[in-house]
Structures are given as structure tokens and as C-alpha cells.
Amino acid sequence: MKRFFQSQTLTTGLAIFSMFFGAGNLIFPLRVGLLSGDLNLWGIGGFIITGVVLPLLGLIAIILFNGDYRTFFNRIGTIPGSLLLLFCMLIIGPFVGMPRIVTLSHIMVAPFLGNISLIIFSVIFLLLTFLGTYKENKIINLLGNYISPALLVSLIIIIIKGLVYREPSTIATETGPHLFVDSLIIGYQTLDLLGAIFFSSIVLTLLKKSMPNQNENSLHKLALLGLKSGAIGVSLLAIIYVGMSYLGVYHGQGLGHLNEGELFSAVSFRILGEYGAIIIAIAVLMACYSTILALAVVVAEFLQKSIFLNKISYVQALITALVLTGIISNFGLATILKYSSPIIAIGYPVLIVLTFLNIAYKTFGFKAVKTPVAIAFVLSIAHYLRMFI
């Protein structure tokens, strides 16, 4: 048992958990619980399918492709694959995902920091991000040994106290099947399949670098290590999701009008009171910080190798990504969500279809990919346009 708690498998599993568990993961389960109330088993069941199972499939897919996400995307052709890869980087990187983390973090922790301005907060937050990522090979140890335990402990304190001193549950206003479908959609909004593909690739790449001799046997061990670590990460994700959803059930009365960022703060204060502010702030900051660290590494590596073709260093690419993130962040959360909505609505279903097809290709030899992905793309556009007709 002692060897397990000191093992690379556990450290990597904790790192994967903290990579996934960002601001959205902190607040969406609360919304599910608040809406589902006494029918929360329906709600959290739907949420786990898109919030946990989809990321797990993304992890498995990248392991099957030996951590090479470029080969994963290029199955639909070099040009379409490159375009879809670029779309993904736009979503997770300095134009959507990373600025969304900065602005949402600011909304959630500003009350604890004397209402610090967004500009000052973004500069400090992104400077800390640089300090945590400029040595790329250290990120797994940083996340697994320090950030993830701090995040887990703070969340567990909030969840345990919230479940012990619970209030009467909210009452669901919809039927179980309707709540299941609604929660599927909420889980979809975490976009964790995107994170799974790129985070898993980075983790596997860094683990490969730690192996002195790479042969077929070592690659098999690497795949097994990645699968075990991923199982730990997504299991923790599911457990925390269930706990957070029940906080929404028992402490969300009368808070349905709040936005997601305000909802977490309000529920946490109900549970811990003003004296628990430090624990709440740690939970928020660790959730946001861990995910932006992982995203920064992914984007910097992509910029260095795919955009600048190794003509700049990793650190220069990292600085470029963080500066762009800082600029976009200061347009505010509402603006970021507004322009990113159509990109996500059209592109994310295509990525889901490609993931399933690539798993089928590696496990069953199913070769069809271009036509199904093209159909998914057309249907996504049609569905999005239909919302405005």
C-alpha cells in the first residue's frame, strides 16, 4: 500500500484529475444537483456520461495512438485534420479556453481578494502560470504531488461538511428522463473530451521522455501506466462530481437565479461560512490553476512545433500563448462566451464522432472515417443554423 501511494501511477493519476478539474467542473455539477433535486440520480447519471465517460474514451483513444494526437487527427486527411486540430487549439488555447479560465477565476475569487481588477488579476495569474510551466517536464510532479492534493482536500472538506449538515433537498420540476437529457447537455459543456485528447498526449509524451530505452515492451508498459493513471483520474472526477451535485441538492435552495461562478461561492459560504473563505478560495484557485497549467503546456508545444516549426523555443512559445491569453481575457467572460459558442457548437460534435471512429479503427479495424466525420460536420452546421430560424 505504501508503494502505491508513492508510485508514479498515483502521481500521474492525480495530475490527470487536476488537469481535468477546472472551473467548469467545479460549478456545473452544482447546477445539475440544484436542478435535479430529489431526482439527482437521474441528473448526475446523465452528467457523468458526457463529463466522465467521454473524457475516458478520449484518454483511451490517445493511448491507442501512442500519445500522437497529430496522427489521431490526420486520419481524416492532412488538411482537414490540421484544420480540426487548429480548431481544437483555438478552443482550448488563448482565444477561448485559457481566457475563460482567467475571467471565471476572477469572478469567483474577486470577493476574497478585495475585488481586484481583472487586468491586475490576469497579470498575476498568468505570471504564476508561467512559473508553473516553463519547465515542461516538471508539470506532472507539480500537479500530482502539490496542486491536486490541495484541490482534493479543499473539495473534500466542503463536500463532507455540506453532506453532514445538509438542508432539505430541492424538489425537481422535471421528470427523471428530462433531467437525464438536460444533464447530458450540461456535462457536454465541460468540453473535457478536448482536454482528454491533449492532456493525455502531453502526459504520455513526458512519461516517454523519462524512459531511457524505448522498445515494444516499454511502450506496452507506458500504455498500461497511462490507462491505470487515467482510471484513477476519472474515478476521482466522478466521485467529486457526485459529491458536488448533492451540495446543489441540499444547499442550492433559492440560488437558481445566480450564474455558475456566483453559485459556487454562495453554496460554499452557506456550508462553511465566512471563516471558510480560505478553503473556498483554495478550491477555486487550484481548480483553475491546475487546468490552465496543462492547457498552457499543450498550446505552447503546439505553437513551437506546428506553427513556428521549432524556430522558437518552448519558453518563447509559452510566453506568446500567455500574452495572447492576457489580451483576450480582458474582453471579459461574456464576450468570450459569445464568440466561442458557434465554434464549439459546430466543432465539438465532429471531434466526438472522430474519437469513436478512431477507437473503432484501432480495436476492430473499422476504416470508415472521412464520410462519417463530414456528415457530422454538415449536421452540426445545420443544427446550429436551425436555432436561429
At 4 the pLDDT is 43
Q: What is the CATH number of the domain that holds 42?
A: 1.20.1740.10
Cβ(230)–Cβ(12) below 8 Å: no
- Reading the block at residue 163, the C-alpha cell is 453532506
Count of domains forming the chain = 1
pLDDT of 68 > 70? The answer is yes
Q: Which of 140-144, 166-170, 281-285, 352-356 has the highest mean pLDDT?
A: 352-356
**What is the spatial distance between Cα 36 and Cα 173, in angstroms, rounded to a whole number?**
8
In the prediction, which pLDDT does 341 show?
74
With 0-12 / 13-18 / 19 or more C-beta atoms within 10 angstroms meaning exposed / middle / buried, residue 90 is middle
| Residue 362 covered by a domain | no
Residue 369 lies inside a defined structural domain of this protein: no
pTM of the shown model: 0.86
Whether 356 is in a domain gets the answer: no
Inside any domain, residue 259 = yes
Q: Is residue 213 over pLDDT 90? A: no
Looking at residues 210-226, what average pLDDT do you find? 70
Q: Give the residue with greater pLDDT, 274 vs 272.
A: 272
Is 376 contained in some domain?
A: no
Q: What percent of the chain has pLDDT over 90?
A: 40
Residue type, 292: I
pLDDT score at 1: 46
Q: Percent of the chain scored above 70 by pLDDT?
A: 93
Which range is least confidently modeled, 60-69, 200-209, 249-258?
200-209
What's the CA gap between 146 and 142, in Å, rounded? 6
Q: pLDDT tens across 245-263, in order?
A: 999 999 988 887 876 667 8
300 class by beta-carbon count within 10 Å (0-12 exposed, 13-18 middle, 19+ buried): buried
Predicted pLDDT at 387: 65
Q: Decide if 384 is inside a domain.
A: no
Residue at 168 is within a domain: yes
Task: Report if residue 345 sits inside a domain.
Answer: no
Domain that holds residue 227: 2-334
Helix intervals (H) in 210-332: 216-251, 260-272, 277-302, 314-329
